[in-house]
Structure formats: C-alpha cells, structure tokens
Amino acid sequence: MKYVIVSGGYPPDLKLLNSYIDKADKLIGVDGAADLFESFGIIADILLGDFDTADEKNVTAQSIKGAEVIRLEPMKNETDTEAAVRLALDRGADDIVLLGAIGSRMDHTMSNIALLKLALDSGASMKIHNKNNEIFICNDYYEIKDRTGQTVSILPLGSDIIVSAKGLAYPLEDLLLAVGSSRGVSNIVKENHADIKIKDGYALVMFTNDN
C-alpha cells in the first residue's frame, strides 16, 4: 500500500502534495499538517500527533469531514513523525513518501532522515521529498531512470561502504566511501539509465535540484 505522510517541517506546495496523494492509498497528517490540509481543502485519512502545533479548530474540522484522529501523549519516547511511520508500517504500507520532513529544527530533520532506515529494515521503501531534494536509503541496488543532468550524492550511513555506479559523470567502481568523507557529494547523472550498487552497509542517496 502507498502511504503519504505530511510532517511538520517546511510544508510542501499543493502541486507536490497532489502529485503524491493522487496515487496514494492513505494520507496521514502529522500534527500541524491539519492546518495545511484545511488551507488546501484536503481531507486526511488519518491525523496523528499531540497537536501542540495544530489549530484545534482545524483538527476538529478534519475529524468532522471523516479523518481518523489519533491523539498522542505529549510526553513520549518517539516523535509524532516516527509514530506516523510506525502506524503506516503496521497498517501494511510498503511504499511511503514523507513530505514536510525538512524544517528549521535540525534535530527533527535528522531524526526524520533516520526513519528511512526504519522503513527499509521493515521491508518498505520510503523517501523524503521537498522542493529541492529527494532522499532515500539504499543497501543493495538502485536503478536511475530519466534523471539526466540531475545532481546525485551518495553518503555512507553509519559505517563505511563500497559503491559502484554507472551512467554518472564520475563513474565509481568498488569505491570505498568512508564515514566523514565528502567524496560521494555532487555527482551528475549522465545517462537515461544509470545505476548504483552498495555493498557492506547503507547509503543515503540524494537527488538535488537548486532551481
């Protein structure tokens, strides 16, 4: 099942949001996303959080329109966004897009990026997407299609990795990428069909666009 989760960072614009929810089975709003949905005239399937950043009027409005509202205790051992990802996984999600995951709070941004591994280890694919970035984790093979000219960065996550890649401006062949090295930053996709292979660990793969 395809899930879209909207968290409380910098909000996605309507075009990006619609590009995903039109194909999604379920839409989850995290806390203040209730305000965003009301402003766009969108009804969530699920609203989840302690709602410390949401306007309660918007939470109530979403509930009246049919959203399932799950209220979390303010004092807890996980973020609202982690709770949303775990809920999606528990309800059968195998494909998750996380929007609004990058914001001014770097601690929340980093923890949201870490959730990509939680999803992958649970057997689901998940990516973070905002206006300029698409981020996911790879631990085996990823085929790149129709991204010619786009910047791609590959960074080791947690431990050193071995990377091979074809179809990039700087081809990689069993290259050791060590944690703390910037060697994998700012490669360029040069072919319509390229690929990345990761050995011995996890890599953060980021497609970026500064325009």
What whole-number distance in Å separates Cα of residue 161 and Cα of residue 176?
6
Would you state the pLDDT for residue 101?
Answer: 97
pTM score, two decimals? 0.95
Q: What does the pLDDT read at residue 114? A: 95
Q: What is the CA radius of gyration of the chain?
A: 18
pLDDT confidence of residue 211: 59
User: Looking at the predicted structure, is the pLDDT value of residue 206 above 70?
Assistant: yes
Write down the pLDDT at residue 210.
Answer: 73
Q: Do strands 46-49 and 26-30 pair parallel, antiparallel, or not at all (unpaired)?
A: parallel
Q: Is 111 exposed, middle or buried (0-12, 13-18, 19+ CB in 10 A)?
A: middle
How confident is the model over 115-120, as a mean pLDDT? 97
Closest CA to 5 of 143, 104, 124, 123: 124
Report pLDDT for 209. Answer: 87
Write down the mean pLDDT value for the chain: 96
The predicted structure's pLDDT at residue 93: 98
